[in-house]
Structure formats: structure tokens, C-alpha cells
Amino acid sequence: MFLLASSNPFIRSYVEADWFGKAIFLSLFALSILCWSLIIYKYWVYRQIKKISQTFAEQFSEKELLTLQFKPLRGRLLEVPNPLFEIYKALKNKVLQIIDRNHYFAPNEEAVLSEADLELIEREIQMAISKQTTGLEKNLFILSTIVTLGPFLGLLGTVWGILMTFSDLHTRGGAMGNAAMLSGLSLALTTTVIGLVIAIPAVIGYNVLKNVSRDFRREMEHFSQTLLAATELQYRKPNHAQKIPVSP
């Protein structure tokens, strides 16, 4: 075990580093744990959201006509983040609010929605989509920060290691100093390697998760168009065509 540790440049560079160098190594190690934890967690969350959204869409498609009394058949749909259900809930609340307002001012008329009402509902849905997208992309900025911070921390460790190496060379001098310099330079470069090893998975994970988030947004926009079409079909106020007299 000791031989393995002594032959490993990463372990050897950590052991021989001063307190500042050890702090850089520990910071890089913490970034690595944070990076992989966030990637695994977000991937798991996205898979759960995809499954639950598909289940909700299947239940909703079984209803041939939009109904504001629709409720998910499974309680789990209400426990897991469900962007499609949140969009439907936003539409439902807005439609009921507008219908109640219209009924208050015209109690004897049928519950219908005007063109202005439909535009207001569409804006409400777009706000709901933006809110859900923000929730899906929550904490992704950490990965983009790690992509930038990891290599810079590694570079800082390398520069610090080179500085300490030249300081030892000046102190020792001669053949001993040259040997120490070569050993120190090889060890100082390990922090740059670690920084790149951290940044590469972070940038891949960020791009993959960002692409999944964009797919969810497209799915939400498609679902919102389906909701708006069904709402317009069921509640839109009909335009009465002008009657043209026909001569016998």
C-alpha cells in the first residue's frame, strides 16, 4: 500500500505539498464530489419527471374532451415534480377565474371566453412554462462554474508548485537542486491534470442536462398548444356570421 502511494504522482504530490497546496488539492476533490453528485442527482430527477409526465399525458389523452374537473388517477403524480400537470393547473385556475369574472358581470349568459380572454390564458401558460423551465435548470449553474473554476484551481496549484520548486532550487543549488526541481515540476503539474479531469465531465454533463431541459420545454410548449386548442374549442365565444338576404 505504501509502495502504491509512493509511486502515485497524485498522492505523492499531495503528501509533499505545503498547507496551501493541500488546500488546493482538497478544493479540487470537493469540486469533483460536487460535480458528480449534481450530475447523478439531476439525471435521476429528469428520469423521474419524464416518467411521471408520460403517465400524466397518457391519462390526459384518455379524456376525449378537455374538462376542468380532470384529476390524475394516481396520487404519485401529485408527489413528483410534474411540469405538464403544473401547466394544466395554471390553465385551469385562469380559465375558472375568467369564467367567474364573466359570470359576475353577465350572470345570464353562457360561460364563454372571448379572444382577449384566450390571449390572457396563453400568457399565463407561457409564464408557467418559464417557471417550470427555471425549476428544471435549477443548480445547473454550478456545473458551468465548475467547468471554469476547476482548470483555474489546477493552474493555481501548478504555478504555486513551480514557485515552491524554484525556491527550493535557490536554497539547495547544485545537482540536488536540479533533481528536486525536476521532481517538483512533475508533481506541480498534477493539479492541472486534476482540474481538467474535473472540468471535462462537468462540461459534458452540463450540455447533456441542458439539452434534456430544452426537450422538456418543447414538450411543455406542445402540451400547452393542445390545452389552448381544447380550451378554445370548448369555451370560445362563437362569431355570429352576418346574415345575407337571399332573393327567392
pLDDT digits (tens, 9 = 90+) for 100-157: 887 776 666 667 777 888 888 899 999 999 999 998 998 999 999 999 999 999 999 8
pLDDT value of position 65 = 47
* Mean pLDDT, all residues of the chain: 79
In the chain, the number of structural domains is 1
Q: Give SS3 for 99.
A: helix
Q: Which residues contact 148 (CB under 8 A, 6 or more apart)?
A: 199
Phi, psi of 113 (to 5 degrees): -120, 135
Q: Is 8 inside any structural domain?
A: no
243 within a domain of the structure (yes/no): no
Q: How many CB atoms lie within 10 A of CB 34?
A: 16
The alpha carbons of the chain give a radius of gyration, in whole angstroms, of 31
User: Which 3 state secondary structure label does DSSP give 236?
Assistant: strand
Terminus-to-terminus CA distance in the chain, angstroms? 107
Residue 38 lies in a domain: yes
In a domain, 248, yes or no: no
> Who wins on pLDDT, 173 or 151?
151
Domain region containing 216 = 21-235
Whether 176 maps to a domain, the answer reads yes
Residues with Cβ < 8 Å from 173, sequence gap 6 or more?
none
- Whether the CB-CB separation of 87 and 223 falls below 8 Å is answered with yes
Q: What integer pLDDT is reported at residue 237 of this predicted model?
A: 67
In a domain, 240, yes or no: no
* pTM to 2 decimal places: 0.78
In a domain, 162, yes or no: yes
Domain for residue 109, yes or no?
Answer: yes
The mean pLDDT value for 156-164 works out to 84
| Cα–Cα nearest to 142, from 26, 39, 213 | 39
